Amino acid sequence: MNGKQLELMVIITRRGLANKIVAAISDYATFPSIIMSRGTANSEVMAALGIGEPEKDMIFCFCEYENIEKVYNILSIDFRFTEKNEGIAMTVPVSAVGGNLTLQILLGKTKDLM
């Protein structure tokens, strides 16, 4: 995979904040997709997870492993994700992608291909 470890990042935040988050992390995360969602958990589960209202924005994006801590710091400091009801984020390792072109697109390196 060209020596890069790629991670899928999933960020769940309160409705209306996704575009600001995408702009703030754009130097470290690529190929963002924003989905408006509504949680189905009951109030006890939502309280335990600290996610408050059911209307959420979900952001799916890709990060190189070396940039994950930078993104988490932005979420923690600029968007107060360490406080209750502000949001949650997680990453999932991507073990394979369908070809070098796909990898370059997900890494945001399409300028290198032109």
Q: Is 92 part of a structural domain of the chain?
A: yes
Q: Is 1 part of a structural domain of the chain?
A: no
Residue 2, H or E segment: none
Q: How many domains would you assign to the chain?
A: 1
pLDDT score of 97: 75
pLDDT tens per residue across span 67-80: 999 999 999 999 99
pLDDT score of 9: 97
pLDDT score of 93: 92
* Average pLDDT of the chain to the nearest whole number: 84
DSSP lists the bridge partners of residue 34 as: 59
Q: Is 71 part of a structural domain of the chain?
A: yes
Contact 9, 94 (CB under 8 A): no
CATH code, domain with 82: 3.30.70.120
Q: What mean pLDDT is predicted for residues 99-112? A: 74
- Identify the domain containing residue 89 by its residue range: 6-113
- Between the two ends of the chain, the Cα-to-Cα distance in Å is 20
Residue in 35, 4, 30, 2 with CA at minimum distance from that of residue 18: 35
Residue in 97, 94, 75 with CA at minimum distance from that of residue 8: 94
Question: What beta strand segments (E) does 65-105 contain?
Answer: 87-94
pLDDT tens per residue across span 29-54: 998 999 998 766 666 766 666 556 67
3-class secondary-structure state, position 54: coil
Q: Is the pLDDT of residue 1 over 70?
A: no
Burial level of 21, CB count in 10 A (0-12/13-18/19+)?
buried
* Better-scored residue on pLDDT, 86 or 17: 17
